């Protein structure tokens, strides 16, 4: 435990179940982005998965919408220390998207419209743990929150849930993405406080 801050009482007295160490709860939805918000129409939107052998599967917006949709309610945790409980999303499970992809890769690089990248172990994308989400709270996902569609990986800090996601590339190597090259953790488990290098 650290040193005391004389006179500081804080707001919360009881531990909050489900809140990872070093996090605090918010009720709004802060926006953090590295640059201007990309504006991508659903007409021009494409999403693809490329295996380590170079085979690419691509979906148009209509094809993506025709896939089985899931409604999920999850807690999200941002590395800047806010957490938000019970967020509601609609999207397509990565299990569905990876169904026809033949791969022995261990890692995935998500790439976004606007140039953002983030690396995620493939294990974290499988087993009902990750989605490409296109609705938040029952409405189309707003551009500043990553619309038309973003990656949703609630088991990791939220910078791994790439906004404006356009592709996932599978690889046998764990290459660092954007924030991972700029001081943030390669894995990013909030329960282990994997925040920085």
Alpha-carbon gap, residue 184 to 34, rounded angstroms: 14
Alpha-carbon gap, residue 63 to 151, rounded angstroms: 17
Asked if residue 145 binds other proteins (CB under 8 A), the reply is no
Burial of 157 (0-12, 13-18, 19+ CB in 10 A): buried
Task: Tell me the closest approach of the beta carbon of residue 27 to other proteins, in angstroms.
Answer: 6
Q: Which residue has the tokens 């994308």?
A: 125
Asked if residue 32 binds other proteins (CB under 8 A), the reply is yes
Tokens of 71: 């409604």
**CB 9: neighbour CB atoms within 10 A?**
6
Asked if residue 10 binds other proteins (CB under 8 A), the reply is yes
Asked if residue 22 binds other proteins (CB under 8 A), the reply is yes
Among 41, 43, 68, 196, indicate the residue that binds other proteins (CB under 8 A). Answer: 196
Among 88, 104, 115, 128, indicate the residue that binds other proteins (CB under 8 A). Answer: 115
Asked if residue 12 binds other proteins (CB under 8 A), the reply is yes
Please report, as ranges, the residues that interact with other proteins according to CB under 8 A: 1-13, 22, 24-38, 80-82, 114-115, 144, 178-179, 181-183, 193, 195-197
């Amino acid at each position: 435990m650290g040193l005391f801050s004389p006179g500081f009482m804080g707001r919360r007295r009881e531990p909050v179940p489900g809140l990872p160490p070093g996090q605090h709860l918010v009720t709004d939805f802060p926006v953090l982005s590295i640059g201007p918000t990309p504006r991508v129409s659903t007409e021009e939107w494409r999403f693809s998965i490329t295996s380590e052998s170079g085979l690419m599967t691509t979906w148009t917006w209509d094809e993506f919408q025709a896939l089985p949709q899931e409604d999920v309610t999850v807690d999200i945790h941002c590395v800047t220390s806010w957490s938000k409980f019970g967020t509601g999303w609609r999207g397509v499970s990565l299990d569905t998207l990876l169904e026809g992809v033949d791969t022995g890769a261990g890692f995935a690089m998500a790439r976004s419209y606007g140039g953002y990248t983030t690396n995620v172990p493939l294990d974290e994308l499988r087993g009902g743990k990750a989605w490409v989400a296109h609705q938040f709270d029952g409405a189309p996902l707003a551009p500043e929150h990553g619309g038309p569609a973003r990656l949703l990986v609630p088991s990791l800090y939220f910078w791994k849930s790439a906004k404006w996601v356009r592709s996932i590339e599978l690889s046998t190597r764990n290459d660092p993405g954007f924030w991972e090259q700029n001081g943030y953790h390669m894995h990013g488990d909030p329960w282990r406080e994997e925040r920085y290098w």
